[in-house]
Structure 1
C-alpha cells in the first residue's frame, strides 16, 4: 500500500474508512465517512449539498431545509480539517466548494491517495504488460482489499452500484492472477488464489477445471519424501512436500490451543501464517465470525475447565477447554479436526510438551476413528510450529506415528497418515533419521512399543 506523501493524506475505503495524515490514522465518524465515500465515488464530478443530504441522511426528503444543509456543511468542515488542515475552509485545494444556486463540493484525488483508485489503476496496468509484471501489479492490487468495500456506506443506495463494480473488478483481478501465475509456472501460487475463488463460484466449470489442472501440475512436481506401507493394520504413513490445504482427498488436522483462539489481527494472538491462521484465511475466507460460530457449535456441551479474567488475558478468548479437546469442523466435503495441542498463556505464548502432545494425539485418533470414515488424514507435524514442543523433529515424528499405529491396532482408523511439509521447510527435517525409524518398524506392528517416555 502506498504511503501518504509528506504533508499529504491517504484514504482507505476498501474496508472500514481510515484517513492517514500527519503520521496519524483516523477513523472518521460514521456520517462523516459516508459523506467522504459519496464524494469519492463521484470521481471528478461535484456533488451538491442537496444530493449529499438525500444520499447520506434522508433519501425520502422532498425538500432540503436550511438546517439540513448546515448538517452537511459541518461534515464538510470535519473532512477539510482531516484532509487539508492547512486550508480547512473554502480555500481548500482537496475539497473545493463550487458556488451556484445550490452549493456543491468536489473531492480532488490522485490514485496514490485512495486505495480504490490505486486498485483500479494497478488492475488496468496489469492488463497491458508482461506476465511477471502483471503478477506483481495484481498481487499489489489484491493486497489493498482490506474488507468489505465502502463499508461505512454499504447500507446506502448510492453505494450499491460502486460496490457491485468493485466486486466485479476484484473477482476479475483474482482470476487474472490465477492465469498469470500458471503462465509463469507457479502452480502453487495460482492455487492459493484459485481455490478460495472456486469455493465462491461453485458453478464456474472453467475455474474448477483450472484448479484441477493446477493440482495435477503440482502433484507432478511434488515428489513424496518418505513412505511406508503396513500390512496390519492395512494403512500407510507418508511424508510429502506440499501445501496442506490442497490435500483434497484427505481430512485435515489443525492444531489449536486450549482457548480455541482465532484472531490473527497483527499476528498478536494467532499467527496468520500458522496452520490455524491459514485455516481461517483459506478455508473460511478470513471470516472469523463464521469460524468462531462453527467452533462454538462443535464445543457445545463441553464444559470449560477454567475461564480467565480479562485483566489477566488481555486479548483473545477467555474460556479454557481440556488439553487434547478435538472437535470436527466440516468444510467443503471433508473434515478439519481442530485439536487443542497446546496451552495458550496469558502472555499469548502457546506452550506444550511431548507428554501433553502424546495425550492430545490419543484423543485426536479417537475422533478420527469416530468421524473420519477411514479417509486419509493430512497434517503438519505436530509440535514443530508455534506450539513450542522443544524436541527434535524426528522424535516428534516418532511420537506421531507411534500414536497413530497404536490407535489402529484393532483396525485401521485412516487409510493413510500423511505428514505435509512446506517446501521451504524441507531442509529443516532430518529425513534420514525419520526414514530409519519408520522402516525399522515391523510390517505388522499392531501395538507399537514407543520410546521409553511414551507413557509420560
Structure 2
C-alpha cells in the first residue's frame, strides 16, 4: 500500500510516497470534509449538501453520481494500484436512512498520516514529559504548523469544532514551550514566543505577566548589555555593552595602535594616558613600559618594517614603522591582547587613519584571532572613534564595520564564539544604537543581507 500523508495545518497538502499529488479543488474539499469528521462516517447526502451547498432534502441520482466521482478521484489518489475491492483508508459503508440504505464514507488515517493528529499527539506527550523532552516534542509539533488549519473550509460550520480545538491546542503548545524554556533557564528562547502570545491576545493577563517576567530576567542576566544578535549558522554572537573594556576578564582584548607601536605616555605627549594604549600599559602591565615593549618587539620580529624615521624628524617615541594591518598577539595568562596597527602616527605625534586603513586592520585582526585567540570571546572598543580621527565615518558606521568584517571572517572558519563591543558609559548617548540594531536585524543567519 502506498504511503500517504495529509496536511491540514495550513493550506491542504496530499502526498503519496513522499510525492505531492494535486487534487481538483472539489476533491480537496471532500478530503477536508472527511478529515473534519474526525473518523466518523459522512453520508453521500451530507457530503453533497456540504460541498455543493444544496439543501439536504434535495438529493437524487445525479447528485449521488457527483459525490461518487469525487470519492473515486480521491480513492485513486490514495490507492492508485487498487483495481477493485474495499479501501482500508477511504471506506464505503451503508447507512440506513429511511426506506433505502444510503452510502456513507469514512476516512481512516493513522497518526503519522495526518499532520493534525501527529500535532495533537506530540503536544499530549509533552504534557507528561520532563522539560528538556517537552521542548523537543513541542518544537516538533509546532514545526508542523504551517498556518490556520483547514483554511479552505474557513466558512464551513462543520469544520469549526476541529479548527477551534486545533487553534486552542496550538496556543497551549506555545505556552507550554515557554514554560519549558523557563524551567530550563533559557529565557532568551522563551521571549520571542511570549511576545507573540501576548500580542495575539491583549486581554490575556497571564501572557502579559509572563512576558514582563521574561524581560526582567533577561535584563538582569544581560546586565550591561544593550544589544545582542545570534548568528546560528555561524555559531557566533555579537554583543554590544557599556562598561569597562579592561574589566572583561573572560575575554581577549583588542587595542588599537599606531604604525610605530608607541607606548610612551609621559606627559601625554606621544600617547595619551586616557587612550586604550595608555590604559593597557597602566592596568594590565602596571605601568611597566619595558615589559610591554618587550612583548611588542617579540611579536614584531617576523614583520618587515616599511620605514624608519630619523631622530631629527621624530625626536620622541619609536621611529620604526610597520605596515598598516600589523597585528601583535600579546600573551597574558589564559588570554591575549591583540595590538593592531590601523593608523599612522605622524612626526607631529598626531595619529591619522582612514576607513580603508581600519577595514584592513580589522580583517587582519580577525585572522590573527583565529590562530591565537584560544576560542575565547573578544572584547573590542569602538576603534577609530576618537584619537585615530577617522572623520569620514560616524560612530554607528564604525561599529557596523567592526561587526561586518567580523561576521564575514566567520563564514569560512571559527574565529571566536563571541564578539563583544564595549562602549564607555559616557559615550553611549553619542551612538544611535537603533541604527546598528536595524542593520544587524537585516542580516540573515549567515550574516548576509536578507534580501540578497
TM-score, scaled to structure 1: 0.51
Contact 1:14 1:116 in 2 (8 A): yes
Residue in 1 that maps onto 2:11? 16
Residue in 2 that maps onto 1:152? 152
- 1:209 deviation in Å? 1.0
- 1:243 deviation in Å? 7.0
2:35 to 37, 40, 43: 40
Partners of 1:406 and 1:124 in 2: how far apart? 49
Partners of 2:113 and 2:429 in 1: how far apart? 67
- 1:90 deviation in Å? 4.4
Residue 174 to residue 44, structure 1, CA distance change in 2 (3 Å): same
Contact 2:43 2:105 in 1 (8 A): yes
Q: Mean alpha-carbon deviation: is it higher for 106-115 or for 91-100?
A: 91-100
Question: What count of residue pairs does the alignment treat as equivalent?
Answer: 269
2:228 to 241, 249, 253: 241
Contact 2:45 2:56 in 1 (8 A): no
- 1:28 deviation in Å? 2.0
Residue in 1 that maps onto 2:212? 212
Partners of 2:430 and 2:125 in 1: how far apart? 60
Structure 1: gaps of 5 or more residues: 1-5, 226-237, 245-270, 274-389, 408-418, 447-456
Instruction: Decide which structure has the larger Cα Rg and report it.
Output: 2
Residue 169 to residue 72, structure 1, CA distance change in 2 (3 Å): same
Partners of 1:426 and 1:207 in 2: how far apart? 39
Residue in 2 that maps onto 1:355? none
Structure 2: gaps of 5 or more residues: 96-100, 236-362, 367-379, 398-402, 432-452
Cα root mean square deviation, aligned: 4.0
- 1:222 deviation in Å? 2.1
1:81-118 Cα deviation digits (max 9, x unpaired): 11122326442111111134100111111111000111
- 1:215 deviation in Å? 1.4
Contact 1:37 1:150 in 2 (8 A): yes
Partners of 1:74 and 1:222 in 2: how far apart? 63
Q: How does 1:40-79 map onto structure 2 within 5 Å?
A: 40-79=35-74
- 1:176 deviation in Å? 1.3
Partners of 2:229 and 2:6 in 1: how far apart? 39
1:44-102 Cα deviation digits (max 9, x unpaired): 31111011111111153431121111111111111111112232644211111113410
Contact 2:2 2:78 in 1 (8 A): no
Contact 1:40 1:107 in 2 (8 A): yes
Q: Secondary structure at the residue paired with 1:98?
A: strand
- 1:428 deviation in Å? 5.6
- Is 1:111 the equivalent of 2:100? no
2:20 to 19, 25, 30: 25
Residue 428 to residue 187, structure 1, CA distance change in 2 (3 Å): closer
Contact 1:80 1:89 in 2 (8 A): no
Contact 2:4 2:18 in 1 (8 A): no
Partners of 1:150 and 1:113 in 2: how far apart? 16
Residue in 1 that maps onto 2:377? none
Partners of 1:185 and 1:45 in 2: how far apart? 44
Q: Secondary structure at the residue paired with 1:145?
A: coil
Partners of 1:107 and 1:65 in 2: how far apart? 24
Contact 1:111 1:117 in 2 (8 A): yes
1:5-40 Cα deviation digits (max 9, x unpaired): x83111111111111113311232221111111111
- Is 1:427 the equivalent of 2:416? yes
TM-score, scaled to structure 2: 0.52
